[in-house]
Amino acid sequence: MSVIILGIESSCDDTSASVLKDGIIYSNIIANQDVHMNYGGVVPELASRAHQQNIIPVVHQAMEKAGVTADEIDAVAFTRGPGLLGSLMVGTSFAKGFAMSKNIPLIEVNHLQAHILAHFIDDLKNTYDHPGFPFLALLVSGGNSQIIVVKDHLDMEVIGETIDDAAGEAFDKCAKVMGLPYPGGPLIDKNAKQGNPLAFEFSRPRIQGLNYSFSGLKTSFLYFIRDKVKENPNFVQENMNDLCASLQYTIVDILMNKVKRAAKETGINQVAIAGGVSANSGLQNALHEAAEKHKWKVFVPQLGYSLDNAAMIAITGYFKYLRNEFVGQDTAPFARMTIK
């Protein structure tokens, strides 16, 4: 039986729509919102307004690129949460309206689960190597830092998570301290390539078990820069690359230490990274080094499927469709959702 699913993602500041046919992604359209750049972070009200403007053209483009009409779609999958409520409401309302008008099933998707299931995407250009079960996932984004045992597509267990800030937040907030625009993560990554990772040393958390903490690092970075700028007002500009390289080295080291421990404790030797920070070149290099040393098999998502995107919502929707996991029109979005 052939199935076509429309995926909708609007949890933060990217409006995205994707069309999946029989497990293959045919289109994945993402509209970014430049409007937040001047504010040093996402402004929720501006994000939901931009989603309102973008959602219809983005869905239209996704269907056009996939060569399908609205009447051919069998189900709509949408991000229910976690995310910004005003942003989630735009995608949720659109999905509900679409499903009702076409009399087709509605599928709710947990955004975090979807980031992990991005590892099961194949598209028209490529089929990729997918992890087998069980595998470990390091989910690192602007709002999450978690280590998860993935037992099946829809069966996941969180075994470690941040007790305060997420890794992406640490990148973005430290970037802001250095005067870099939002989102700072990709810029730190770019500058780090020209810098010395051992030029500066920053504090590392001492947290029990497999949990993370990044708020101490963020504060110590802020004080460090403040003190150095008092001595030399041009300190940041003169040391930008070394600062970025040292900060990235520290964040990646913190992340990887717990992943290594998780692999040892669980005996699982397949490791996948997911979420926006998985695009970081330092993290990818560290993962490949660990793979060689510890004989792991590792999985890094394609860039288009690592940042927020609707293809990951469509593939998650597909797995739920195959199990008849549908929801009703009374389904409301949730700003806070965890992996169950």
2 φ/ψ angles, rounded to the nearest 5 degrees? -85, 140
Q: How far is CA 201 from the centre of its chain?
A: 27
Token pair belonging to 338: 């965890």
CA distances from residue 191 to 123, 183, 300, 333 in whole angstroms, order as listed? 32, 14, 21, 38
Q: Nearest to ligand KG4 by Cβ — which residue?
A: 276
Residue 45 CB-density burial (10 A; 0-12 exposed, 13-18 middle, 19+ buried): exposed
Number of residues that bind ligand KG4 (CB under 6 A): 19
Rule CB under 6 A: is residue 275 a binding residue for ligand KG4?
yes
Which is nearer to ligand KG4, 75 or 162 (by Cβ)? 162
In the set 7, 168, 195, 333, which binds ligand KG4 (CB under 6 A)? 168
Indicate the residue among 15 and 280 with the shorter CB distance to ligand KG4: 280
Using only C-alpha atoms, the chain has a radius of gyration, in whole angstroms, of: 20
With CB under 6 A as the contact rule, the residue among 307, 313, 315, 339 that binds ligand KG4 is 307
The least CB distance from residue 183 to ligand KG4, in Å, is 4
Residue 23 tokens, joined: 């497990």
Q: Which whole-number Å values give the CA distances from 336 to 81, 112, 256, in the listed order? A: 6, 11, 26
Minimum CB separation of residue 108 from ligand KG4 in Å reads 17
Closer residue to ligand KG4 (CB): 20 or 255 = 255
Considering only 183, 195, 317, 333, the residue that binds ligand KG4 (CB under 6 A) is 183
Question: Smallest distance, Å, CB 165 to ligand KG4?
Answer: 10
Shortest Å, Cβ 241 to ligand KG4: 15
For the CA atoms of 252, 215, 201, 37, the dihedral, rounded to the nearest 10 degrees, stands at 70
The tokens for 297 are: 């098999």
Alpha carbons 178 and 190: distance in angstroms, whole number: 14
Interface residue with ligand KG4, options 15, 27, 280, 316 (CB under 6 A): 280
For residue 124, the 8-state DSSP code is: S
Locate 335 and state its tokens.
Answer: 């700003």
Residue with tokens 């430290």: 174
The binder of ligand KG4 chosen from 118, 174, 277, 312 (CB under 6 A): 277
Among 94, 135, 171, 224, binds ligand KG4 (CB under 6 A): 171
Residues 112-141 binding ligand KG4 (CB under 6 A) are 141
186 binds ligand KG4 (CB under 6 A): yes
- Residue tagged 């500009």 (tokens): 237
Minimum Å gap between C-beta 67 and ligand KG4 is 28
Beta-bridge partner residues of 158: 148
Give yes or no for residue 108 binding ligand KG4 (CB under 6 A). no
Q: Does 242 bind ligand KG4 (CB under 6 A)?
A: no
**Candidate residues 286, 308, 310, 312; the one interacting with ligand KG4 per rule CB under 6 A:** 308
Give the pair of three-digit tokens for residue 232. 């030399």
**Residue numbers at the binding site for ligand KG4 (CB under 6 A):** 12, 141-143, 168, 171-172, 183-186, 189, 275-277, 279-280, 307-308
